[in-house]
Every structure is written in C-alpha cells, then in structure tokens.
Structure 1
Amino acid sequence: MKFPAAILVLFTSLAVVSASNLHAGLSPVARHSRLTQRASSLEVAVKRAPKLCINRTNKKVVVSSTKAQSSSSAAPKPTVLAAIVKPASSPAPNNGGSNSGGTIQVQSGNCGNSGATRTTTKTSGPNGSIDWLNCGINAGGWNPPFIRIENVITQSLSSALSSGSSPFKACAPYVWIFEKYGGQFNIPPIILASFAMQESSCNPATVGGGGEQGLMQITREKCGGLSDQACRDPEFNIRTGAKFFADTLNGNGGNLLLSIGQYNGWFRGMTMDKATAAAFSACCRCQNNLDYLHQFLNGWCQNINAYNNNFRLGKFFNLDRCG
C-alpha cells in the first residue's frame, strides 16, 4: 500500500506544478489584452478629437490628466493626441505659399502696382502702399484691388508674442480664443487679434462712442439680447466678431480688403468727402479712419504698433481733429 501512496503523492505534485505553470502562462496574455484595450481607447479618443474649434484649455487638461500618467505604457499617448489636435487650431496659411520675397504678389489693372515694400514704412509695407489699398478714394470712390486671405503677408500670432516688443502683449490672455475661432472660421488668428488691437487696444472693457462692445467692438444688435457685460465677455465677443467677419468675407466672394474695410464702416464707392463727413458733427469719431487698411495690414499684421507716436502709420490722420 505504501508504493501506490507514493505514486499518488508524486502525481498530485505534478498536477499542482502543471496548474501553476498554466496560470503563469496565461497571465501575460491577460495583461496584454488589458493593455491593448487601454491603447485602443486612447486611439479612439484621438480619432474622435474634433478637427475644429479646439479649446487650448481643454487640451491642457487632456495632457495633464491623472489617467494619462497612471502607467508608463499609457503616458506617451497624450503627446500623440496633442500632436494630432494642434494643427486644427493652427492659423490658416499666411500667404498660401504663393508670395515670394516677403511682399504681396497680386496684380490689379485698375489700381496699378501694389507699391509693396519688404519692410513697413509710414505709407507702405509688405501688403502694398496706402494709396493702393485705398484705391479710388480720391477719385470716383473706393474700389479696392481683389485680395484673398491667402494672399496677404502676416506674422504668426504666437511668434509675434514671443518677441519682447510685441504690441500684442495686451492680447496674451486671449490668444487661445483667437486661435480657437481662427481655426473654426479659417482666419489667421493674428487677423482677429489685429481687429482687437485696432478697435480696442485689446481691452475687453472698451465701449465705443456708438455703444460698440468689447475687444472686437461689436455693435449692440450682435449681442443677441445679452447685457452689455455679457456681450463684452472675451470669448463671446471674439467668437461673434470672428463669425461676423467670416460671414462678411464669404458674402464678398473672398474679397479681403473690402471685408476689412467694411468692419470699420467702409463701403465700395466711398469717397474722401463721404469718409470725413462727420468731422465737424457732434460725432467726430463717426468718421471712417482713412489710414485703417494700412495700419491693419502693414502695422498690426506685421507685429508693429500702428499707433506708435514715434512711427505713426498713415498719411491722412483724419481722426486727429476729434481730440
């Protein structure tokens, strides 16, 4: 009876060892399955990441999330997500790759040579001379050359801010908003920020003489029934201004100069007399700023302070009489 008992003990031991080895062999498969599932979840998140209207604040939350840092295998994934999402909020191409030599390359039969210069002067710059931009003002009426948004020379807003002397420092808290809606409406963020600098010096508390509100100086009817304070909320204000400009640009068939001018109340056929008609009225600042286009495109869009008293851009300065 002792011999069979020994055999039984040996058989039992072998069975235990075999079961242990089998469990050890399955454990890595189970771990791999879980890790694969985790990676798939992140890949799905990447695929589902919106291509437009990226909120930079939300993106930071994703990158710094606890889940993303919980294991070394999952940690690299947020970097991939950020790399995929980032281009969605990048500005539209500054010059469409069509400009050479750093000056605008647009031909206009009616308005002649653009008079563009590589560097900005008081009356010219990379996007043409003030007389070319204001074509027709002194004759039959303003009839601007046709320029598309991809034709103009602009600086990157983020690059502009990185320079120590940038006039956009006041816009720094709102850069993510300019980039968010620049991406949504396919407008270079520096163009949106340039509207804010030109209209309000990037001060969200600004109220215009005609009741215009906030950073983008949107008119009251665009506030959608909101209070003045709510209308001046930076995100609402920038989004509303960006949408208005994008709609104007589309309505004008992509004519950028006409659209920028209309943001300041310009209109096709506007003459010098019409632009300055309010000069001696009770609303002197209701005039159209005749230096607007030059200040906008060759000043702000080039990371240059168009209002610098030591280097004032323009030649009309028709608002000076308003005090």
Structure 2
Amino acid sequence: MTFQRTVLQLAACSAIAYAQSANIGLGTNPDAQGASEEVTPGAGPNGSEDWLNSGMEADGWTAPYLSWDSLVKIDRKTFYANAGSACEQYDWAFQQAGDEHQIDPVFLAFIAMQESSCDADAGGPTPGLMQVACENYPDGQCTNDVAKSVDAGASFLRKQLDDNNNNAIKVIGNYNGWFTAGDQTGLNGGRGLSLDYPCSDDGKAYGQPQNLDYLQQTLNGWFLGLNPYGDENWLGQYHCSGSCDSGNVC
C-alpha cells in the first residue's frame, strides 16, 4: 500500500466519521416536522424539505414556524475545520457584526458559505460575502468591503428575525428572496412562491429565487457542516440548475 493511498484512506475515514457525527450525533429538532437524525435528500435534523417548503404545491409558500433558538447546528470551530474552512479568515467580521446585531456569529458564517462560498470578491447585483441587497448598507451602496458586507447581512438578518417572530424558516427563505401571497409582490399571479414559479414567465423574467432547495441546503446542510456545493451535492430534492429545459421546475 502506497503512502498516498494510506493518506487518502485516512482522509476518507475522517470524512465519514465527521459526516456521521453531523448527521446523527446532534439529535433532531423537536419542533421540526419530519426531522431525522440522518440527513437525506429530503430531510434532516431541522425538518423535512417538504415541510420546510410547505405550500409550494398549492397556493404559494406558507412558511411553517420553527424557532431560530431551537435550530440544530454545529459550532464555529467545527465548521471552520471542515466545510466552512474558507470562512475562518473572516471570523473577526462575523464576530464583530454578530456582537453588533446580537446574532451568533456562526449563523453569519453559514449564510456566507451558502451565498458566496465565503468569497469576499463574489460578484453579481449584490456583491460580497453576504450577497445582500444594497439597501441594507448604511449608505445604500454595495461594496466588497468585508466588514461592511457582513454588517449589512447581519443587519438584514436581525430585521427578519424581529419582523418574523424568530421564525427561522421565514427568515432564511426571505434571505433568498422567497415570497408569500401576503408580501403582495404581484408575482406568480399574486400566489407567492410555488413549485411552478421559477419556470413561469415571471420566474424567467426576474430570475429569482431559482433555488427551491435553499432551505434544505442551509438548515440541513451548512448548519450541520455539510457542503451542498461539494461532497454533499445530493442535498435537496430539486437540484435546481437554473434551467427550465426537459421539464425541470427550476
């Protein structure tokens, strides 16, 4: 057996042991419907994806309630040692913004990975680590500045928590632009986000939100130290590609 093969096998064993601790050792959220210790494409400790996405098959997303304080998650040290290693260099910013807005900094790291893979130079209409709308910056101007980007993301997150009675599902969905009939966007015939929205005329025209796996990837992925963009790319039931070809819903 070569040294290289030995190293690879040891790494594989370490990865398996870590995945098992993330999937099983953290227990389940007692407030989450369909919660399971084992993370699967459609479930995990913070609830089943069908439950998280409740209402999308009917008259639009209805956002069931799940307390932010009850969420099953790993700590920053564990996150940085595994799936969130790219975020460790920005821990100072997460800590600073977390203290300012009374949010556990690990949540900011989770969201930064989901939004930008912790790339401070990530582009798009909402650039930077947190990929948050420009209106959330103090001067209304988007920037790649790390401290300002993280503070803007934390500010938006705090507002969502306050406005939605700490409902983690509504808060995380809103971060990705999910909307309900009550938000009165007028999109999707006024129904709010549904399975058929991404490939509807409105969905194609506005381009977001396209990722119907967002809640599953975040709450049962990054929050547990699993990487939906890497080894755990099976997370989620829709595997949205942004394409509406061949009957895809997103």
> Structure 2 length as normaliser, TM-score?
0.75
Equivalent residue, structure 1, for 2:135: 221
2:107 maps to which of 181, 184, 191 = 191
Equivalent residue, structure 2, for 1:103: 28
1:68-83 residue pairs with structure 2 within 5 A?
A: none
1:274-285 residue pairs with structure 2 within 5 A?
A: 274-277=197-200, 281=204, 285=207
Equivalent residue, structure 2, for 1:306: 228
Give 1:254 deviation, angstroms.
1.6
- 1:272 equivalenced with 2:195 (yes/no): yes
Relative to its length, the structure with more helix (as a share) is 1
User: What is the rounded CA distance, in whole Å, between the counterparts of 2:149 and 2:72 in structure 1?
Assistant: 26
Distance 1:151 1:248, change over 3 A: same
Distance 1:146 1:212, change over 3 A: same
User: What is the rounded CA distance, in whole Å, between the counterparts of 2:114 and 2:138 in structure 1?
Assistant: 24
Unmatched tracts of structure 2, length 5 or more: 1-24, 181-191, 246-250
User: What is the rounded CA distance, in whole Å, between the counterparts of 2:231 and 2:48 in structure 1?
Assistant: 20
Give 1:170 deviation, angstroms.
0.8
Unmatched tracts of structure 1, length 5 or more: 1-99, 108-113
Equivalent residue, structure 1, for 2:65: 146
Distance 1:322 1:179, change over 3 A: farther
Residues matched between the structures, number: 210
Give 1:116 deviation, angstroms.
1.0
Equivalent residue, structure 1, for 2:214: 292
- 1:172 equivalenced with 2:88 (yes/no): yes
1:242 maps to which of 131, 142, 154 = 154
> Structure 1 length as normaliser, TM-score?
0.59
Deviations 1:134-172 (A, max 9, x none): 01111222112211111110100122223xxx1211111
**Is the 2:80–2:86 contact (alpha carbons within 8 Å) kept by the matching residues of 1?**
no
SS at match of 2:37: coil
Deviates more, 1:265-274 or 1:197-206: 265-274
2:121 maps to which of 205, 208, 227 = 205
1:117 maps to which of 19, 36, 60 = 36
**Is the 2:212–2:240 contact (alpha carbons within 8 Å) kept by the matching residues of 1?**
yes
What is the CA RMSD across the aligned residues, in angstroms?
2.5
Give 1:251 deviation, angstroms.
0.8
Equivalent residue, structure 2, for 1:4: none
Rg comparison, structure with higher value: 1
**Is the 2:26–2:72 contact (alpha carbons within 8 Å) kept by the matching residues of 1?**
no
